[in-house]
Structure 1
Amino acid sequence: MKSKVLAGESPWKEAWTQLKSSEIASLDYKPTPFKVVSNGPYNKPDNGGKEFVRDGAAAYTMALQWYVERDKAYAEKAIEIFNAWANTLDSVVNHNRQLKVGTAGIKYLNAAEILKYTYKGWKTKDRKAFEKMVANIWYPVIKDWTPRYNGNWDAANGQTLMCIGIFLDRRDIFDSACRQLTDGDTNGSIKNYFYENGQCQESGRDQQHVQMGIAFLSCAAEIAWKQHVDLYGAFDNRLYKGFEYTAKYMSGEEVPHVQYVTWFGKNVYGPEISPNQRERICPAWERAYHHYHDRKGMDMPYTRKMIEKSRPEGTEIQSFMPWASLTSADFPAE
């Protein structure tokens, strides 16, 4: 990524310009930590939820800038964000607590992983304070999963649990998350989130939530891949089928659909696929395309159509991991 950016090659050049123009990339950025993050159903109330997720995205953005430009001001800004939360946060509570940790945690932890191994200025006491927050405040919120909720919840939980395991060098946490996200009894596992034809557990709900589910699972699969575990290939490339199914429908074509029955036998939504947010293309597509197309040589024509409309993938919707075009676009096979 760094070499592509510095060489000014497309699409990394455009993606880097997008990142640099974002307000969460500015060295003037100020974190907004809360002592208690309380986020209720449908974000009512939302006391600190959006700030928690946004500050995580900012920390990740700072870490990427540090890595590419080697300006330590960006590393220090990321650490400033870590410290603000580590020295303030006491708890994450209310109905959406798992979703907030699941969507925010991955952002902070990817930033922290970059700094841990590339920046010598992260003081041990500050790093330990961050680790303590992760282990004692975040982990207890998501460790028991939300198996009967819509699958995007545990897809979010799983990606962050993997990151916690890696950052804290807790192989047990990582392995448990891999098992649960592969074939665990949860709507968010690869086995259960997708039917064999690619229909998703939330396809009858709306297409934004489907994109959240497949995006979170692709993040989890990419994290696992970096640890030499293949979730992408699970159940005959079920994740691939979910991406192409969803992209085909969002491209304007029709796809087969039946009412979804959860792993515990509950009918959810209706017999028809939902047209809601069918035209709302979220930043969800680059990572899976990179793996299946670039690494594995598999055609993804409908996913490619989504990328052509969404590139460069940025941060316009908080829940998604930002800057996927920058980090994953069309890299050669590894």
Structure 2
Amino acid sequence: MKLQFLMLGLEASSALKSVYAASDSKATPYFPIPTNAPKTWVHPGVFVSGPQLDHIAKRIEARENPWTEALDSMLNMSYISPTRTAEPYETVQCGPTSTPNIGCYQEREDSMAAYMNALAWWITKDKHYAEKSIHYMDAWSSTIQGHNNSNAPLQAAWSAANWVRAGEIMRSSYEHWSKKSIKTFSDMLRHAYIPIIEDGAPQKNGNWELVMIESTIGAAVFLEDAALYEKSLELFSGRVPAYIYLTSDGKYPVQGRGGINTTAEIIKFWHNQKTFPISGITQETCRDFAHTSFGISSISHIAETLRIQGMDVWRSTDVGARVKAALELHTALDSKEKPIPKWLCNGTIPDTMNPS
């Protein structure tokens, strides 16, 4: 859990303040999320900003916790090892339940290593971390051509979300990442990732489409691609209210894309949850809490990127109210603070929230 503080920018408190400020205001339910790109791009501007990272560095310089403990924990992980090397694949093939699994594990691990080393570089100013982050990005961007099999969009989104965070930090702070390498990295995003994730996945469970949106918005920031940014925001604007329910939505959740329109279709898509007496139920609550946590996390990550780019959807829309309601409901149930009511998922929910 200590590592989570650093991986989340160690600024979860600011995000939570935004969530609670939004929920305390009289936000209009299902208030449309604006879909316009920023007039001026902020870099680094995916999930964490330069001022946030500088704030963390100052806390660590003063040996304050939990920041210092989080950094120490991260630096002891294998991802940061100077002897660890990239294992790029030309084609990553990921099927259901990891069958087949050709390059899937390596791609995700290497993308996380690139991001962790980028964080370590910004905080410590040790150029060895900078070079290691670039090593992973250069190795993959000069090799990968694409993704295949049924889980390809999800795999691509998971990995791209990390690549763009690493790329944003390194391009903004390390002058020795060459223009040629940055161009190759940009081409990788455009050709090996964006084409299979930019249209979303309206008929898949929400965690799929939300992480796809998270990665395309991040890529749009890195590439300063206004069209991709606005296309991704359109998907986000429709998916959030169709993923987290507020009682103000009506008797049933908001209809999403993908032809899921009738009451029967909505109930089936929401894993057979038939009644909605309280806010905070998600489309995947009755599937399991782990996938639910993935969906909520992606919404939060996207909202933070949008905030950095000048659009505070925590306050200007009902995103904050929805996320707050979902967190309050699921953490209370997950911690056993409250029993699972019989009307919710027939009184049984398979597993716990995932902290990642």
The bucket for the TM-score relative to the shorter chain is 0.7 to 0.9
Partner SS, residue 147 of structure 2: strand
Partner of 1:327: none
Q: 2:326 maps to which residue?
A: 242
Distance in 1, matches of 2:312 and 2:347, equals 30
Structure 1 counterpart of 2:302: 220
Letter in 1 for 2:213: G
Change (3 A) 1:257 1:160: farther
| One of 56, 61, 68 as aligned partner of 2:111 | 56
Q: Separation in 2 of the partners of 1:257 and 1:195? A: 18
Deviation at 1:231, TM superposition (A): 3.1
Distance in 1, matches of 2:312 and 2:213, equals 15
Query: 1:159·1:216 contact (CA, 8 Å) conserved in 2?
Result: yes
Q: Which amino acid aligns with 1:282?
A: N
| CA distance, structure 2, for counterparts of residue 5 and residue 147 of structure 1 | 42
Number of residue equivalences: 266
* RMSD of aligned Cα (Å): 1.6
Q: Which residue in the other structure is 2:176 paired with?
A: 121
Counterpart selection for 2:233 from 170, 174, 178: 178
Q: Percent identity at matched positions? A: 27
What is the alpha-carbon distance in structure 1 between the residues aligned to residue 343 and residue 95 of structure 2?
31
The Cα offsets for residues 58-109 of structure 1, whole Å up to 9 and x where unpaired, read as: 0001101110111111111111111111111111111111111111111111
Q: 1:195 aligns with which of 231, 241, 245?
A: 245
Return 5+ residue gaps in structure 2 as ranges.
1-55, 247-278
CA distance in 2, matches of 1:71, 1:10: 21
Match of 1:35 among 69, 90, 99: 90
Match of 2:339 among 254, 259, 262: 254
The answer to whether the 8 Å contact 2:171/2:177 transfers is: yes
- After TM superposition, which residue ranges in structure 1, 4 or more long, deviate above 4 angstroms? 255-259
Contact 1:24 1:57 in 2 (8 A): yes
Contact 2:221 2:229 in 1 (8 A): yes
| Alignment partners' CA distance in 2, 1:49 and 1:17 | 28
| Rg comparison, structure with higher value | 2
Q: TM-score, normalised by structure 1?
A: 0.76
1:273-307 per-position Cα deviation (integer Å, ceiling 9, x unaligned): 542113xx422xxxxxxxxxxxxxxxxxxxxxxxx
- Give 1:161 shift: 0.7
* Normalised TM-score (structure 2): 0.72
The answer to whether the 8 Å contact 1:205/1:273 transfers is no
Q: In the alignment, does 2:351 pair up with 1:277?
A: yes
Q: C-alpha separation between the residues in 2 aligned to 1:128 and 1:273?
A: 52
Q: Secondary structure at the match of 2:134?
A: helix
Higher relative contact order (CA 8 A, sep 6+): 2
CA distance in 2, matches of 1:90, 1:251: 43
* Structure 2 letter corresponding to 1:219: H
Moved more, 169-178 or 45-54: 169-178
Supply the distance in 1 between the matched residues of 2:342 and 2:157 (Cα, whole angstroms): 29
Q: Which moved more, 1:211-220 or 1:57-66?
A: 211-220
Task: Extract unaligned runs of 5+ from structure 1.
Answer: 260-270, 284-319, 321-334
* Separation in structure 1 between the aligned mates of residue 184 and residue 191 of structure 2, nearest angstrom: 10
Determine helix, strand or coil for the equivalent of 1:92. Answer: strand
